[in-house]
Amino acid sequence: MNDDLKIILERIELNFKRRPQTEYYLQVVNDTYDCTYNFFINIQPKNRRRHSIPLHTVTNYKLSYLEKIISKILSKYHFTIMYDGFIGLRWPYKQELIQRRRHFDE
């Protein structure tokens, strides 16, 4: 987990510029075909298009592993996280639904 977490945190720090009137949020995508989790940072300045920048692909395909990574990221950065492809799945430790409903582009 340390390598995946370290790479993700370094790339967030590289792209998170803290510009005014700019929205930043993370996106985690469950790729069921490749059995991976893909992390993206989305940056949207006010009245401009959104830019989605790939951060890292986690190949350890276990929800408990992903839950630990997410909790470590949230302890350092307080981003909103959007989940795609997690319909009906629950976190192993918290027992909360990960994604409640499909997004319009899913």
Say which CATH number the domain at 43 has: 3.30.420
38 lies in some domain? yes
User: Tens digit of pLDDT for each residue in 17-31?
Assistant: 888 999 999 999 999
2 pLDDT tier (thresholds 50, 70, 90): confident
54 secondary structure, DSSP code: E
Q: What's the pLDDT at 37?
A: 97
Q: Encoding tokens for residue 93? A: 């430790």
Q: Is residue 27 part of a domain?
A: yes
Structural domain that includes position 52: 2-84
Asked if residue 10 has pLDDT above 90, the reply is yes
pLDDT tens per residue, range 29-78: 999 999 999 999 999 999 999 899 999 999 999 999 999 999 999 999 99
The answer to the question of residue 106 being in a domain is no
Burial bucket for residue 85 (CB in 10 Å: 0-12, 13-18, 19+)? middle
Q: Which two three-digit tokens encode residue 6?
A: 């370290």
Number of domains in the chain: 1
Two structure tokens written together for 100: 């409640």
More confident residue, 79 or 36: 36
Residue 12 lies in a domain: yes
